[in-house]
Structure 1
Amino acid sequence: MRYLAGLLLSLLAVPAFAREAPPQPILTLAADAEARWVPFELTSQDQIRFTLSLDGRPVTAVLDTAVSVTAVSRAYAGRTKLRTRGDGSAAAIGGSVGIEWADIGSIVLGGLRRTGGSVAVLDLAQAAIGGDAGVEMLVGIDMVGGYALDIDYPARRFRLLQSGRQPFQGAGAPLRVGTDRSFYLTEMWLDGLRLRPMVIDTGDGGTVTLSSDAWRTRGRPETRMTSTMSHGLGGPVVTDLTMLPELRLGTLAARDVPLNVERADGYSSGIGVAGRIGSGLLKRYRLLLDPKAGHMILAPGPEAAMVPLRSTSGLLVEARDGMLVVLHVMKGGPGEAAGWRAGERICSVDGEAPTGDWLAGEPGRTVALGLCGGGVRPLTLAAFY
C-alpha cells in the first residue's frame, strides 16, 4: 500500500505505439448495450479496475483512455501461451517500455465484442497500477474510441453506447480524438488562458498535469509550489505540485484542484500536448465521452465539492513489511526542514505501529517518528503549499 502524502497521485499512460501492420479487428456493439453496465472498483490510485473476457477467460483490466492500443501483460501472455512477435519500444511516463504483439480471438466488454486483431504485450509495473499484481490488461482507445463512453464514477460502473446518445444532463466541454487516434483531446481554461490540447486520461490517478511550457504561459511565478513523485509504466517521475483555486472545462468550473507541473522535457511536451486530465478530477463526476458528437458531458457527483487532502508532513511513503519507507521528500515541506531523506524507514508513529493517517494531519501537531535503525525524530506538521 502507498501513502502518497494523503493525495491520490499516480500516472499510467502509454502513447501511440509504433507498430507493424496488424490484422484488423471487427468491433460490434450489441443492440442492448445500454443495459450492459460494467461494474468497476477504483484502485488505490483512482484507476478504473474491472473484469472482461479475453478469448473466453476472465481478465482483470484497467480502463485507460490515454493508451492508444489495448495491451496485456507479459505475465499473462506467458501463462496463456500467446505467440508474440516483434521487438519494439514506446515512450511512456517515466521512460520507454519494450513492446511485442500477439494476435487474439475475441474480447467481450459489456455490450461490445471485438473479434480478431492483436494486442500489445508489455511489462505492467505494479507501482503504476496501484501496486495491484492482479491487473493484467489495459483497455485503450482502440476499443472504446468509436462509441460514447458513459463512466458513472459515483455508481462505480461504465457502459458503451452508440454515439449521439446523452443519457444525462451536465456541463459540456469540447472533445475529439486526435488525428492519429491516440488520445481523447479537450481544452482547459486557467486564469483566462485556454490550454490545449489536454488529454483525457482515465488511467492517470492524478487530477491535472501540465507541461512546463503550458504552466509558464500562465505567468504567475508567485504561486506556492512543492514537489511530488508518482509512477508511470516507464518508472518514477518527479513533478512540481500546487493547488488551483479554480479551472474551467467548457461550462464546468472545478474548484480546489491539485496540479502537477512536469519538469522540462516531460512526457506531455514529448507527445505535443499541454497536459492531461486524470481520474483524480474525473471521479468527481459522471462522465460521458463522445468524440464523434464532439463533446464530453460532466454531471457533478457527491465528491464534486469535496476539498482534497493536502500533505502537511512533506513526506511520500510506502507501507512495506510493517514499516513506512520514505519515497520522496516534498520541496519546502516539514520533512525537508527536518532533514528527512528518501529511503529512510519508519517503524513507529507516536510509539504505535506505523500507519499513514498523520501524513495530512492537522497543522501544528507534532508526531514522534521512530526510525527502524533506532532513535525517534519529531516532525511538526504544517501547511506549506
Structure 2
Amino acid sequence: MKEPHSGHLVDRLVDPNNYSDWIDSGAEECPSIHLDKNLFQDVLNIATGRFSPLQGFMNREDFLKTAKDMTLEDGTVWPLPVVLDVDSEKAAALSPGERAALYDPGGELLGFLSVDEVYKYNKEETAQDVFGTDDRDHPGVDNFCRQEDFLVGGTVTVFEGYRYNSHDLRPAESRVLFREYGWDTVVGFQTRNAPHRGHEYIQKTALEQVDGLLVQPKLGEKKAGDYQDDVIIGGYEELIDHYYPENQVVLSIFPSRMRYAGPREAVFDAIVRKNQGCTHFIIGRDHAGVGDYYDGTASHTIFETIGDIGIEPMLFYHAFYCTACDGMCSRKICPHGDEERIYPSGTTIREQIQNGESTSSKMIRPEIASHIKDADNSFVEG
C-alpha cells in the first residue's frame, strides 16, 4: 500500500470533551461561520484526511499556485482550490491568529477555524486557470463565480462524532481494512449513478489486475433527475451481493460535490483515492467533464503531463454490449461496428424506469432495476 499524498495522513478530529470550556463559553465569543452543505463536506474531508496534505482551507499562496500550476507552494501536486468564501462583513470580523466557530448546515457547532489569512481574489481569472474557461454557462465556472468576494485561509479542527452514513469509511479505516483483507493493490472506482452493465464490466476488468476494488459513489449537491443517494448505494449493494466474489469489494462513499473541472478533477479524485489506500484509480472518458468544454481524452492525457503522483491511473473508454460478440466489450477487444453495439445509458435507463417501461438485462442487472423501481423517490425532483 502506498503512503498518503505527500507522505502524511491528516487527522484534524478531536475529542470535544477536551474543548468543553471553549464549547460552553468561548465559541459564543468568536466570530461564527455557518457552512453550507458543500463547505461542510469540505471541512469533514479535510479533517478525516481525504484531502491530505491539506490541514485547512488554502491561504493565498497555495490558492494561486494551485490555480496556475496545479501544485501547492511546496511543490506537491494539487489540482483544485479548496477554499472558504465569506462576504465583506464576515471578512472584516475575522482576524489572523484568532478562532472562528464553524457550524454545520443544521446550526450545530462542528469545530473551529484557526484563521491565518483573509484575502480577495479574481474570480474570472481563477476560473479561466482552473476550468479552462470563464464561460458562465459552464456549471463549475458559474458555481465558482457565485462565491463571495473574500477567502479565508486557516487550519480546521473538527469535533469527533459525525458520520455521513454507515458507508462513510475514513481513509485511516479503509487502510486498516485493506490490510486485514491482505490487499497489496486496490483499484478505486468513482460513480454518481446506480450501476449498469458498463460500470460492472469496467470494474471487473480492473479487478482482474489487482487484489481488491473500492467502489465510492460521490455523494454531494445534486440536480433534477439525479439518482438519490440511497438508490445508488442500494444498487451497489445488490450488484456486490449477487455478482462479485466475497471479500474482494468494499463499498464506501466520497461525500463531495462535483466541481466539473474535467481533467483537473480526474487528478483530484485520484489523489483522494490514494489517501483512501488505493494503488490504482479508474479514469473513464471525459471524467468530470461537462458539455464540450474538454477533449474526451483530456482526463487521460493529463496524467502524462503531471507525472507520477503515487497512484496508477487505469484508463478506460466506453463499455458496451456487442450483439455479434454476445457479451460486454470495449473497443479494444471488439471488431464490430456501432450497429452491433448497445451502449448502457444512465439517461435511457432512468427514462425507462420513470415511464414504467421494461429495462434490458444487457444494460442493467434485473435486481438493480427492481431496486430502483421499488424505491420511493428514486430520482431528485426538479
TM-score normalised by length of structure 2? 0.31
Bigger fraction of residues in helix: 2
